[in-house]
Amino acid sequence: MARKKIALIGAGQIGGTLALLAGQKELGDIILLDIPDFAGVAKGKALDIAELSPVAGFDAGYSGTSDYADIAGADVVIITAGVPRKPGMSRDDLVGINAKVIKAVAAGVKEHAPNAFVIVITNPLDAMVGLFQEVSGLPAEKVVGMAGVLDSARFRWFLAEEFGVSVEDVTAFVLGGHGDTMVPSVRYSTVAGIPLPDLVKMGWTTQEKLDKIVQRTRDGGAEIVGLLKTGSAFYAPAASAIAMAESFLRDKKRVLPVAAKLTGQYGVDGLYIGVPTIIGAKGVEKIIEIDLSADEKANFDKSVDAVKVLVDVTKKVSAEG
Ligand code: APR
**At which of 146, 178, 208 does a domain end?**
146
CATH number at residue 64: 3.40.50.720
Residue 64 has, within 13 A of its CA and on its CB side, a CA count of 23
Tell how far the Cα of 124 is from the centroid of ligand 1, in angstroms. Answer: 12
- Nearest CA residue ID for atom 31, ligand 1: 122
Which of 84, 115, 146 terminates a domain? The answer is: 146
Which of 283, 244, 224 is closest to 78 using CA atoms? Answer: 244
User: Looking at residues 37-66, what average pLDDT do you find?
Assistant: 98
**Could you tell me if residue 194 is inside a domain?**
yes
**Residues 194 and 287 grouped into a single domain:** yes
Torsion sign (Cα): 255, 258, 263, 268 = positive
- For the segment 4-19, the average pLDDT, to the nearest whole number, is 98
Give CA angle at 173 (168, 179), nearest 5°.
120
Half-sphere exposure of 246 (CA within 13 A, CB side): 18
Atom of ligand 1 nearest to the CA of 234: 25
What was the ipTM of the complex prediction?
0.99
- Do 185 and 142 share a domain, yes or no? no
| 178 included as an active-site residue | yes
pTM: predicted TM-score of the whole model, two decimal places: 0.97
Rounded CA-CA distance 306/309 in Å is 5
Ordered alpha helix ranges (H), 5-38: 13-24
Q: Which residues line ligand 1 (CB under 6 A)?
A: 9-15, 34-35, 38, 80-85, 94, 98, 101, 104-105, 121-123, 231-232, 234, 237
| Domain co-membership, 89 together with 175 | no
Pocket test residue of 35, 93, 100 for ligand 1, highest count of atoms within 8 A of CB: 35
Q: What amino acid is encoded at 43 in this protein? A: K
Q: Which atom of ligand 1 is nearest to the CA of 121?
A: 29
pLDDT of the residue at 321? 65
Q: 224 pLDDT exceeds 70?
A: yes
Residue 163 has pLDDT above 90, yes or no: yes
pLDDT at 88: 84
Are 3 and 29 contacting, i.e. CB atoms less than 8 angstroms apart? Answer: yes
Residue 319 has what pLDDT?
81
Query: Is 306 a residue whose pLDDT tops 80?
Result: yes
In the predicted model, is pLDDT for residue 87 greater than 90? no
Same domain (yes/no): 182, 83 = no
| Mean pLDDT value across residues 209-224 | 96
Mean pLDDT of the chain: 96
Whose CA is closest to atom 34 on ligand 1? Answer: 122
pLDDT computed for residue 27 by the predictor: 98
Do residues 153 and 129 both lie within one domain? no
Q: Is 164 in the same domain as 113?
A: no
Question: Cis link prior to 87 (omega < 30° from 0)?
Answer: no
Count H helices, E strands: the chain?
A: 10, 12
Q: What is the mean pLDDT of residues 236-248?
A: 98
* Class of residue 36 by CB neighbours under 10 A (exposed 0-12, middle 13-18, buried 19+): exposed
Query: For the domain that residue 164 is a member of, what is the CATH number?
Result: 3.90.110.10
CA of residue 6 to ligand 1 center, whole Å? 17
DSSP states of 45-61: HHHHHHHHHHHHT----
Quick check: is 14 in a domain? yes
CA 11 to centroid of chain Cα atoms:
16
Residue 25: the pLDDT is: 98
Q: pLDDT grade, residue 1 (50/70/90)?
A: confident
Does the structure show a pLDDT above 90 at 20?
Answer: yes
pLDDT at 282: 98
Residues 27 and 137 in one domain: yes
The stretch 99-128 carries a mean pLDDT of: 97
Q: Are residues 39 and 104 in the same domain?
A: yes
- CA nearest ligand 1 atom 27, residue: 84
- 85-89, 120-124, 179-183, 184-188: segment of lowest average pLDDT: 85-89
Domain containing residue 256: 148-315
Distance CA 205, CA 207 (A): 7
Query: By the 8 A CB rule, do 107 and 148 touch?
Result: no
Question: How many domains in the chain?
Answer: 2
Do 177 and 188 belong to one domain? yes
Mean pLDDT is highest, among 90-99, 179-188, 215-224, for 215-224
In the predicted structure, residue 44 carries a pLDDT above the cut 90: yes
Q: Is residue 321 part of a domain?
A: no
Is residue 320 assigned to a domain?
A: no
